[in-house]
Amino acid sequence: MITLYGIKACDTMKKARTWLDQHGIEYHFHDYKKEGIDADRLHAWCTEHGWEKILNRQGTTFRKLDDADKQDIDQNKAVALMQANPSMIKRPVLDTGSQRLVGFKPDLYAAAF
């Protein structure tokens, strides 16, 4: 089963969900703001793509962190920050089973299906 991870109210999430729906692709939606996300999954995503791509440092949640929390980030610290603040996880993450797509780009989704 394909799983789309993200936050329901996010505009990029809405675009990804619309694309999947329009292309008749069935998926399970996992709202990690409501359902949480386990550290093992975050570590796996970070290993696959790099924590720098998974941790959304452009959002307001990250920008509001204390300066000490923004410094000396490595994968373990990034995972801890994302677990504590799921809004800091780049959205969406689409798990097709064989790969994880980070962010929404219609051409990447089309290539995956």
- Which residues are known catalytic residues? 10
* Cβ contact 86:37 at 8 Å: yes
Angstrom distances, CA of residue 17 to CA of 79, 104, 107:
25, 10, 15
- What three-state secondary structure class fits 62? helix
Q: How far apart are CA 78 and CA 84, in angstroms?
A: 10
**Residues near 74 by Cβ (< 8 Å), separated by ≥ 6?**
51
